[in-house]
Amino acid sequence: MATIRLGDTAPDFTAQTTEGKINLYDYLGDGWGVLFSHPSDYTPVCTTELGTVAKYKDEFAKRNTKVLALSVDGLESHKGWINDINETQNVNVDYPIIADEDKKIAEAYDMIHPNADATFTVRSVYVIGPDKKIKLIITYPASTGRNFDELLRVIDSLQLTAYHKVATPANWKHGDEVVISPAVSNEDAKNIFTKGFKEVKPYLRLTPQPNLD
């Protein structure tokens, strides 16, 4: 059984999806990606989750992030279920849902947790960076639908901290103050963070979010 951890290279694959045959790396190009698994088609929590992701299409696009869903059900099942999702959630699902019937992708990404369920994928989320490295892993059980606002919040943090020498504190959201990375000296901080910073403790320095006007 594969393990997959933060910083690992995301396993590439070519798969049958509801949007045709897709190669992961080609599909993502130079952008960011979210690959998320769900246990089963035609189930209530999954129906609301896939509907929510369709509603957030513009939010993912703003973040240069493409999404792919995955379950071990087949293509015909996915296609029929999309009609139900569109009808009941008032959306248009037009992102790919992978039909991973042979479970090859689920195994490569460690999406089946046998002590939870021997057959179906759990609710895993992987955020993949432009360098094709795994930036985030979140795993929920089948009984708990995910919070996609939280996923967007974390993508905001990942994208900010990838390009600036900052980290984001507890419950941070876009626009809030951030903390300066410990590796940056006060001397350097004065030059880098032109909006200034507050030194609460030598290791806790707050500054306005740097990529805002």
Query: Shortest approach of ligand BEZ to residue 46 CB, angstroms?
Result: 4
Structure tokens at 119: 């057959």
For ligand BEZ, the closer of residues 43 and 64 by Cβ is 43
Q: List residues binding ligand BEZ (CB under 6 A).
A: 39-40, 43-46, 142-143
Instruction: Give Cβ neighbours of residue 82 (< 8 Å, ≥ 6 apart).
Output: 18, 93, 97
Q: Are 155 and 135 in contact (CB under 8 A)?
A: no
- 43 vs 77 by CB, closer to ligand BEZ: 43
Strand-pair partners of 35: 68, 126
Of the candidates 155, 166, 160, the residue with the CA atom closest to the CA atom of residue 63? 155
Residue with the two structure tokens 């590796």: 183
Nearer to ligand BEZ by Cβ, of 142 and 206: the residue is 142
* Cβ atoms of 122 and 138 closer than 8 Å: no
Tell me how far, at minimum, the Cβ of 38 lies from ligand BEZ, in Å.
7
16 vs 43, which CB is nearer to ligand BEZ?
43
Kindly name the residue from 10, 28, 34, 46 that is annotated as catalytic: 46
CA distances from 186 to 183, 190, 195, 201 (A): 10, 6, 14, 12
Which residues, at least 6 apart from 110, have a Cβ–Cβ distance to it below 8 Å?
1, 2, 3, 4, 124
Q: In the bound complex, what is the minimum distance in angstroms from residue 127's beta carbon to ligand BEZ?
A: 22
Question: Considering the complex, what minimum distance in angstroms separates the CB of residue 123 from ligand BEZ?
Answer: 8
Q: Which helix (H) or strand (E) holds 25?
A: helix 24-28
Q: Verify whether residue 201 is a known catalytic residue.
A: no
- Beta carbon nearer to ligand BEZ, 4 or 142: 142
Strands 97-99 and 65-71: parallel
Amino acid at 21: K
| Residues noted as catalytic | 46
